[in-house]
Amino acid sequence: MSEVERPGAAEPERRPFLRWLTIVFGGLAGALAGIPIVGYFVLPKPKKIAWVPLGRANEFAEGETRLVTFDNPLRQPWDGMIAHAGVYVRNEGVDGDGQLRFLVLAVNCAHLGCPVSWFPQSGLFMCPCHGGVYYADGARASGPPPRGLFHCVWRIENDELQIEAPHYPTLQDTLDPHDESRTACSPRHEPRGLA
């Protein structure tokens, strides 16, 4: 070190510390702000389970397919009429145990989600978009759909037919996780509170 000290010659001793401090605080600031912000964007919303009443179970005529519309409780309060939803309900009669059985199908075509229409005269569901056709039990009849219609989870509570509020169904995220056969309908009787 030279005899004559330049002004500020002491700085180089503090500067590495300052640099280090800047990196630490910079990283801390980035993490403190960044982690919750990224979390806000990527965290999935809590899954809501709600049951939708569709009507008195014995008021569905046996063997008849009917479109039932309702306000989907998975909606946001500001969703308005876009939250209106529909499912096709079919009373399948009484099973061996004397229990009423139902078939509840989402309106969304398994191909690309367009709403299928029910034609009672021919007993077929037809999709307006690419001509997917399904039989009355929801099984694929023809056209581009890779599978049958999506089955909703239903139950009967106090003689009332209820379904689990349906999310938007897609091929890897169906409405009924137990619906592997994709044609049979599985009732779920364990009671769950209406959300």
Report the alpha-carbon distance of residue 56 to residue 50 in Å, rounded: 18
If the CB atoms of residues 33 and 112 are measured against another protein, the closer one turns out to be 112
Q: Binding residues for another protein, per CB under 8 A?
A: 44-45, 47-48, 67, 69, 72, 74-76, 78-86, 108, 111-115, 117, 119, 121-124, 126-131, 133, 135, 140-144, 146, 166-168, 170-173
If the CB atoms of residues 138 and 166 are measured against another protein, the closer one turns out to be 166
Q: At CB < 8 A and 24+ separation, what contacts does 172-180 make? A: 174/150, 175/106, 175/150, 175/151, 176/150, 176/151, 176/152, 179/150, 179/151
DSSP 107: S
How many residues does the structure list for the chain?
A: 195
Write down the least CB distance from residue 130 to another protein, Å: 6
Which has the closest alpha carbon to 85: 179, 1, 163? Answer: 163
If the CB atoms of residues 11 and 64 are measured against another protein, the closer one turns out to be 64
Write down the least CB distance from residue 27 to another protein, Å: 26
Write down the least CB distance from residue 175 to another protein, Å: 11
Report the alpha-carbon distance of residue 67 to residue 83 in Å, rounded: 16
Write down the least CB distance from residue 28 to another protein, Å: 28
If the CB atoms of residues 121 and 158 are measured against another protein, the closer one turns out to be 121
